């Protein structure tokens, strides 16, 4: 299954953390890293905190969505992710944005990511690598969704 992932960090050496997280993803059984975007500096959403570094990646996986989520959460833990408050600062944040053309709705996983179509920090790097991928609920290409959001505060690094 082809899946799109969102990556973010705003604590520590964020660019280094994202590079190492991508390397670790590549080492995991059942996951093949196909494409990655450039890194982007982005303004945070939520409580006052440092700016983020965000990126997106496309992987091919033989894992189930739940197993991929488990791998991503274990990887976040490897990078000392601590969940103190919603939308708070973090060393590493990994999200499943898209799962093929499927819609998934589980208690701990909703795909497509419920807020991705509203977020420039997701759509800018995602459109860079998969502009024609159709959002399975909205029926629009990522590049078209990008045209509808405010992308100020999203800067290439």
| Catalytic-labelled residue, pool 93, 105, 119, 132 | 93
Q: Catalytic residue at 83?
A: no
- Cβ atoms within 10 Å, residue 65: 18
DSSP string, 76-136: HHHTT----STT---S-EEEEEEETTB-EEETTEEES-TTGGG-HHHHHHHHHH-TTPBPT
Beta carbons within 8 Å of 142's beta carbon, 6+ residues apart:
123, 126, 127, 130, 131, 132, 133, 135
| Catalytic-labelled residue, pool 20, 95, 105, 119 | 95
Q: Catalytic residue at 81?
A: yes
Q: Catalytic residue at 19?
A: no
- 8 backbone φψ class: left, alpha, beta (φ>0; ψ -120 to 50): beta
Q: Catalytic residue at 35?
A: no
- The DSSP letter of residue 53 is E
| Catalytic-labelled residue, pool 19, 20, 24, 81 | 81
109-111 and 93-99 strand pairing: unpaired
Q: Which residues are catalytic?
A: 81, 90, 93, 95
């Amino acid at each position: 299954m082809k899946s799109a992932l969102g990556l973010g960090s705003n604590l520590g050496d964020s660019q280094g953390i994202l590079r190492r997280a991508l390397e670790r993803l590549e080492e995991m059984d059942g996951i093949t890293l196909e494409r990655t975007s450039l890194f982007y500096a982005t303004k945070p959403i939520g409580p006052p905190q440092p700016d983020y570094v965000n990126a997106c990646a496309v992987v091919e996986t033989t894992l189930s969505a739940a197993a991929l989520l488990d791998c991503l959460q274990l990887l976040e833990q490897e990078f000392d992710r601590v969940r103190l408050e919603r939308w708070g600062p973090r060393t590493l944040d990994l999200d499943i944005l898209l799962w093929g053309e499927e819609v998934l709705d589980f208690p701990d996983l909703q795909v497509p990511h419920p807020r991705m179509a509203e977020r420039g920090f997701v759509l800018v790097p995602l459109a860079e690598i998969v502009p024609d991928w159709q959002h399975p609920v909205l029926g629009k290409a990522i590049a078209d969704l990008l045209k509808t959001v405010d992308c100020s505060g999203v800067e290439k690094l």
